Amino acid sequence: MSAVAVTAAEARIGLRANLRHIGALVRRNALQIKADPQSMIDALLMPIVFTLLFVYVFGGSVGAFMGGGRDAYVNYVIPGLMAMMGLNVAMAVGTGMNEDFRKGVMDRFRTMPIARSSVLIAKIVVEMGRMLVATAILLGIGFLVGLEIKTSVLELLAAVGLSMLFGASLMWIFILLGIAMKTAQAVQGIAMLVLMPLQFGSSIFTPTASMPGWLETFTEYNPLSNLADAARNLINGGPVAGPVWMTLGWAAAITVVTAPLAVARFRKKS
């Protein structure tokens, strides 16, 4: 089938058919994970490693700086790590998308009369499932090392939902990178150059009060700081309106800008 014919067929696809295609592709991607359980290793082990590393390596000193010891640091860093889960899963989406193109998986879709967006949305849905697993493990380990929910279960679920929503918006960025870059290694390299300053120039791991003025200003506008502060206040108590609305604004802006670009680039490339 020619590219013109595929584009014309895609234009006639209705909402119900589009949802059916997304469902079928979600099932396909989920079956791939079932056939290759090793693809879940990062989602299963990363929360454990990061929690134990930061709590027991930095928890004593940073907790003392905060005036509450390691226990206080647990309630500080676990909500911050929730923000980081989305980053790491999103990066895996980009490398996975690049690998799919390299292996010719996407060639199968270009002859099918399906909306190109359904391929990408199905990918995000499955990766959000991986992110949910990683977040659940993070919270489980957090409870084992002393995490306390000082508000309510509903606010904890709101923190999880906010992290998932923001993580989904980041996935569009990395899907775009995965399509645009030539190799998975290039995607990882660009991702690390962006992610390292965003992660460590934020309030995820430590309070920002001791940072230099210019860096503290950067953290105030860093979307990861907004997400970490929102999750932290939802779990520990505190003002949530400001950081929550900032996080939602960032998520909406990222999605509105990058999702159409990713779909257009995917349509052009496939």
**Sequential pLDDT tens for the chain (270 residues):** 444 444 444 555 666 777 777 787 788 777 777 777 777 777 788 889 989 988 988 888 887 777 777 888 999 999 999 888 888 888 888 887 787 777 766 666 666 666 777 788 888 888 898 899 999 999 999 999 999 999 999 999 999 999 999 999 999 998 888 888 888 888 888 888 888 888 888 888 888 887 888 888 888 889 999 999 999 999 999 899 999 999 999 999 999 999 999 888 887 775
**Rounded to whole angstroms, how far apart are CA atoms 169 and 179?**
16
Classify 257 in phi/psi space as left (phi over 0), alpha (psi -120 to 50) or beta: alpha
Task: Provide φ and ψ at 183, rounded to 5°.
Answer: -135, 160
| Listed residue (221, 230, 76, 224) closest to 161, CA to CA | 230
Which run of H or E residues covers position 122?
helix 116-144
User: So where are the chain's domains?
Assistant: 3-269
| Total-model pTM | 0.85
137 token code pair? 């493990």
Dihedral angle sign, alpha carbons of residues 131, 136, 137, 142: positive
Classify 237 in phi/psi space as left (phi over 0), alpha (psi -120 to 50) or beta: left
Which residues 6+ apart lie within 8 Å of 173 measured at CB?
Answer: 90, 94, 254, 258
CA angle 97–100–104, rounded 5-degree value: 145
Q: Measure CA 16 to chain center.
A: 27
Amino acid type, 5: A
